[in-house]
Amino acid sequence: MTHAFVFPGQGSQSIGMGKALAEAFPAARAIFDEVDDALSQKLSALMFEGAESDLTLTSNAQPALMAVSLAVVTVLKAEAGLDLSRDAAFVAGHSLGEYSALAAAGALSVAATARLLRLRGEAMQKAVKVGEGAMAAFIGVNAETAAEIAAEAASAGLGVCDVANDNGGGQVVVSGAKAAVERAMELAKGQGVKRAILLPVSAPFHCSLMQPAADAMAAALAETTIVAPTVPLVANVLAAPTSDPAQIRELLVRQVTATVRWRESIGFMAGQGVTLFVECGSGKVLSGLVKRIAEQATGLPVGTPADIESYQARLAL
């Protein structure tokens, strides 16, 4: 099997996402309605025509991105005959996208996934007071050097500084206390980093400051039914596949504070023969990263009715 299905994380949201799908396909509308019902909120109305500032709120962005991803998968099943267990070697998701991947592969119900992501977003926002944390993207650096820079910044007594995302293509994100992240940005200049960019985020994700959020997710996941996915999940924490529900539950908790090992995850799947990564949902971020990580592979973003047609045309080749 040469296909993997991947699911985007926070930052890929935009007003209007999913609207054309909902207008074109009853299967997509059904997913948006199901998420709305699960959250007792017209999240779809916010996604289609709300305020950007409201959609960007972590507690809204996380379930909203999942809803678009699952709408895409549901439409692909209805219109293109997609069967993940037959057509995919793996599924994977970037941060919150891991929940979308699990729901797409049948490990979690749509309603449970929506409620978990609402809780995850709220818990991550509450874990650190606004203004006390920060994240920065380093461009032109490997993960090892970024980790050394983060460790040096943390050792200065300014607080936590961890590697949050190893995205590939020389892009690594650090996260932690604002003063420590700012110190890491200064140190990066002397380590050959091409650019260090402070990210416009409301909390320092994927660092040890998120432990309160991890604790909240542990309690919620303990009460959530998880079954074996129909396709192995390449987990953020492991950069390796798993289908074991107990391990998946543990990894989802660890994921809150751990590094998203995206470069290694894509590299693993490419090494297993995957040549096409179908990005289900809003935006094209993951498809761009695939180009930088696995030169022989292709990323195919699918998030609109036109993209659905492109996917069908590709299958017909």
pLDDT tens digits for the chain (317 residues)? 699 999 999 989 999 999 999 999 999 999 999 999 999 999 999 999 999 999 989 999 999 999 999 999 999 999 999 999 999 999 999 999 999 999 999 999 999 999 999 999 999 999 999 889 999 999 999 999 999 999 999 998 999 999 999 999 999 999 999 999 999 999 998 898 999 999 988 899 999 999 999 999 999 999 999 999 999 999 999 999 999 999 999 999 999 999 999 999 999 999 999 999 999 999 999 999 999 999 899 999 999 999 999 998 887 65
Can you give the pLDDT at residue 130? 85
Can you give the pLDDT at residue 236? 98
Give the residue numbers annotated as catalytic, written as ranges: 95, 206
Assigned CATH class of 3-127+209-316: alpha beta
What are the extents of the domains in the chain?
A: 3-127+209-316, 133-201
- The model's pTM is 0.96
Can you give the pLDDT at residue 316? 65
Can you give the pLDDT at residue 317? 59
Strand order in the sheet with 90-93: 241-242, 233-234, 90-93, 3-7, 276-280, 298-302
Q: How far apart are CA 181 and CA 146, in angstroms?
A: 11
Identity of residue 179: A
CATH 3.30.365.10 corresponds to the domain 133-201: no
